């Protein structure tokens, strides 16, 4: 029998329509939204004007990057932080690492870890919460900084010239769809053999055979990664411009040039990825810590957390975070940028965001005015109810400090190409930062003593579905 008490009553629908049409603001808003879309109709020019694109502290970065149709934002943001350090250490005008190189190895490692997780949960029901979490997107693209660090520690880095993009790195959907299907087939076979009495050693031997198929799928989709490569870069001549002798005459090195590029060269022949990382990147990826700001009652501040079943490199361990209050969180960010180092960060990039125009700001996206209703979630509620999880990683490359030395807007380097934002860069209001930024990666030297000490404490373990943060895409 139909329960009409649960239905939308016709007389109420009639009243809703009458009330809607009685308000001129609703009609104007509907015309704007239907014609231009919600975000265009909700854009507030006054909010945009309050966020000029100049910053008291600004870092000079290389050309904007583009992750295309893939979930590799966390890799791009990570590599953008390191390329800045490499460029300024070696005097290069521009540089880009190969994102595809790490994408290959991340896919291999996630596949291996997925199958190892299957082996560790052989007696879990397939419809149970734990196995459902493990089985969701076995080798999907998303990730965290610590995943990046674990890959770099094991496989090193290469320049983009040594391993360029492929069709399947720029658009990973089909590649990952069929790889994930194959991995789930492997999981089913492992579980079936376990049910029929196979030993763990026999199952792991089968897993090793399965990984040969994974390698083949990756190599066909992306091409094999280089074991060694040659490297050529030219050092900038900026420091030689306008040199003059004591007589006011131009220096000898400014004599008329031929068409030949005479800049100093950096050359390497047959260098390995690990050698390249250790020689040319002036940053140890292990000397950074993940801070999060999650103001939930059951996630107390000033504790270290570990999320189970979140590793990509199985032997490296699961992802860990230090949860700190907002003032500690922001001070670390300001201190690191002020010292001349960019910051990897994760956020919910969909909230109050103008993708094309390049703004992250609640005062620029007035959906409250458009719809005639306030949006009242705070940061804790947004995380608890899954409304604003971290879903994207980018790089902070600037901040504007007011007359009191407090941040009021942030410069954001994105990886969506130069046609989005202002030549690929966004501006975020400080209020938006407070509300929607949940993770930053900070050099340990810019942590206060109390926060640094937390790195040595025993972590609180969380299940993978418990709210704290999500893998960034």
Q: What does the pLDDT read at residue 3?
A: 82
The answer to whether 178 touches 161, Cβ cutoff 8 Å, is: no
**What pLDDT tens digit does each residue of the chain (473 aa) get?**
778 889 999 999 999 999 999 999 999 999 999 999 999 999 999 999 999 999 999 999 999 999 999 999 999 999 999 999 999 999 999 999 999 999 999 999 999 999 999 999 999 999 999 999 999 999 999 999 999 999 999 999 999 999 999 999 999 999 999 999 999 999 999 999 999 999 999 999 999 999 999 999 999 999 999 999 999 999 998 655 444 444 555 555 566 668 899 999 999 999 999 999 999 999 999 999 999 999 999 999 999 999 999 999 999 999 999 999 999 999 999 999 999 999 999 999 999 999 999 999 999 999 999 999 999 999 999 999 999 999 999 999 999 999 999 999 999 999 999 999 999 999 999 999 999 999 999 999 999 999 999 999 999 999 999 878 776 66
Residue 70 sits at the vertex; the CA angle it makes with 74 and 323, to the nearest 5 degrees, is: 25
The answer to whether 352 touches 431, Cβ cutoff 8 Å, is: no
Please name the residue that has the structure tokens 């040595």: 456
Length of the chain: 473
CA distance linking residue 357 with residue 334, whole number of Å:
25
- Domain ranges, ordered by start, for the chain: 57-227+281-462
- Residue 109 CB-half CA count within 13 A: 25
The answer to whether 413 touches 64, Cβ cutoff 8 Å, is: yes
Helix H segments across 23-98?
24-36, 38-42, 45-49, 73-90
The answer to whether 135 touches 184, Cβ cutoff 8 Å, is: yes
The answer to whether 283 touches 152, Cβ cutoff 8 Å, is: no
**For the chain, what is the total number of helices (H) and then of strands (E)?**
17, 14
Q: Which positions are annotated as active-site residues?
A: 73, 392, 414
Q: What's the CATH number of domain 57-227+281-462, 3.90.70.10, 3.40.50.970, 3.40.50.150, 3.40.50.11740?
A: 3.90.70.10
The answer to whether 243 touches 255, Cβ cutoff 8 Å, is: no
Q: What does the pLDDT read at residue 469?
A: 76
Please name the residue that has the structure tokens 């799928």: 217
Please name the residue that has the structure tokens 């202002």: 422
What phi, psi does 470 have (nearest 5°)? -120, 165
Tokens coding 27: 């009609």
User: Which residue spans within 382-434 are E strands per DSSP?
Assistant: 392-401, 407-413, 425-429
Residue 328 sits at the vertex; the CA angle it makes with 146 and 73, to the nearest 5 degrees, is: 30
Q: What does the pLDDT read at residue 128?
A: 97
The 3-state DSSP class for residue 17 equals helix
Who's near 287: CB < 8 A, 6+ residues apart?
Answer: 443, 444, 445
What phi, psi does 425 have (nearest 5°)? -105, 150
Who's near 100: CB < 8 A, 6+ residues apart?
Answer: 163, 164, 165, 166, 169, 222
- The secondary structure of residue 249, as a DSSP letter, is S
- Cβ atoms within 10 Å, residue 135: 17
The 3-state DSSP class for residue 103 equals helix
Q: What does the pLDDT read at residue 258?
A: 82
Q: What does the pLDDT read at residue 62?
A: 96
H-helix or E-strand spanning residue 15? helix 10-22
Q: What does the pLDDT read at residue 244?
A: 45
Q: What does the pLDDT read at residue 243?
A: 47
Query: What are the CA-CA distances from residue 246 to residues 163, 241, 243, 250, 251 (Å)?
Result: 48, 15, 10, 9, 9
pTM of the full structure:
0.94
């Amino acid at each position: 029998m139909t329960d009409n008490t649960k239905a939308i009553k016709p007389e109420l629908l009639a009243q809703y329509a009458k009330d809607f049409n009685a308000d001129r603001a609703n009609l104007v808003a509907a015309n704007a939204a239907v014609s231009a879309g919600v975000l265009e109709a909700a854009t507030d020019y006054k909010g945009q004007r309050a966020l000029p694109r100049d910053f008291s502290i600004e870092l000079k970065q290389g050309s904007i990057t583009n992750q295309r149709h893939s979930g590799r934002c966390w890799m791009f943001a990570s590599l953008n932080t390191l390329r800045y350090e490499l460029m300024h250490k070696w005097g290069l005008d521009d540089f880009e690492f190969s994102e595809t190189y790490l994408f290959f190895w991340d896919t291999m490692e996630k596949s291996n870890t997925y199958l190892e997780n299957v082996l560790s949960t052989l007696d879990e029901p397939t419809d149970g919460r734990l196995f459902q979490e493990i089985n969701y997107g076995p080798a999907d693209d998303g990730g965290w900084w610590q995943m990046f660090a674990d890959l770099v520690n094991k496989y090193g880095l290469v320049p983009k010239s040594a391993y360029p993009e492929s069709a399947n790195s720029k658009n990973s959907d089909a590649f990952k769809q069929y790889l994930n299907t194959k991995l789930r087939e492997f999981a089913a076979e492992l579980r079936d053999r376990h049910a029929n009495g196979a030993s763990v050693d026999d199952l792991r031997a089968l897993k090793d055979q399965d990984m040969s198929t994974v390698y083949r799928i990756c190599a066909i989709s992306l091409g094999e990664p280089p074991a060694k490569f040659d490297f050529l870069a030219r050092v900038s001549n900026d420091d030689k411009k306008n040199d003059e002798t004591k007589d006011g005459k131009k220096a000898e090195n400014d004599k008329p040039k031929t068409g030949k590029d005479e800049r100093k060269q950096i050359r390497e022949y047959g260098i390995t990825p690990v050698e390249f990382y250790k020689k040319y990147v002036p940053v140890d990826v292990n000397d950074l810590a993940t801070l999060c700001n999650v103001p939930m009652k059951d996630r107390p501040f000033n504790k270290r957390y570990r999320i189970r079943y979140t590793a990509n490199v199985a032997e490296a361990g699961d992802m860990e975070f230090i949860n700190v209050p907002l003032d500690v969180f922001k001070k670390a960010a300001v201190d690191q940028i002020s010292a001349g180092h960019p910051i990897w960060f994760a956020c919910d990039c969909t909230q109050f965001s103008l993708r094309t125009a390049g703004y992250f700001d609640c005062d620029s996206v007035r959906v409250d005015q458009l719809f005639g209703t306030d949006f009242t979630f705070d940061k804790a509620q947004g995380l608890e109810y899954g409304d604003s999880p971290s879903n994207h990683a980018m790089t902070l490359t600037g901040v504007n400090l007011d007359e009191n030395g407090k941040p009021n807007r942030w410069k954001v380097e994105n990886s969506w190409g130069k046609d989005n934002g202002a030549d690929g860069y966004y501006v975020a209001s400080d209020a938006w930062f407070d509300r929607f930024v949940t993770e930053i990666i900070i050099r340990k030297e810019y942590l206060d003593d109390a926060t640094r000490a937390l790195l040595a404490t025993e972590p609180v373990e969380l299940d993978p579905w418990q709210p704290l943060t999500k893998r960034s895409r």
